[in-house]
Amino acid sequence: MKTIGCIILLYLCLALMVSGCNKTAPVPACTMAEVVAQDCAPGWFILKLEDDTEDVATKAGSYVGQLHGGYVTTSNLPEQYRQPGQKVSLRLELNGSDGPRCTANAMLYPPVRVAGVCSEPGAS
C-alpha cells in the first residue's frame, strides 16, 4: 500500500511539472522608441521610450520588464534606424554590461540591448 501511494505521488508530481511548463518563453514587450541622438561614445544611441505599460499588460506571452519610459542608450540599434527623429517599435532588455564611456559632465542613461524590431510606425 505504501508503494502504491509513492507511485501515485510520483505521477502527481510529474503531471504538475509537465502542465506547468510553458512551451514558449516570454519575450520583452514591444515599446515605441524615438532615436534622439548619438551618445557620447561612437556606436551608442540615445532612445526616448514612450510609457505604454497599460497597453503591454494586456498582451499575452510578453512581459513589461523594468523599462517604463524615459531615456536609455543602446549600442546594437539596427543601421536603418540610426537617424535622429526616427520612431520604431522595439523589444528591449536591460544590458548588464557597461554602457558607453563618457566624461563626467555627460548624462548617463541605462544601457539596453535591442532584442528585436517589432514594426515600423505606420506599417501594418
**Residues of the domain holding 32:** 25-119
Q: What pLDDT digit, counting tens, does each position of 14-65 carry? A: 777 776 665 666 777 888 899 999 988 889 999 998 865 555 555 554 545 5
Residue 124, domain member (yes or no): no
Q: What is the pTM of this model?
A: 0.67
Q: How many CB atoms lie within 10 A of CB 74?
A: 24
Q: 4 in the Ramachandran plot: left (φ > 0), alpha (ψ -120 to 50) or beta?
A: alpha
Number of domains in the chain: 1
Is the residue at 19 inside a domain?
no
Q: With respect to residue 68, please indicate whether it lies within any of the assigned structural domains.
A: yes
18 is a domain residue: no
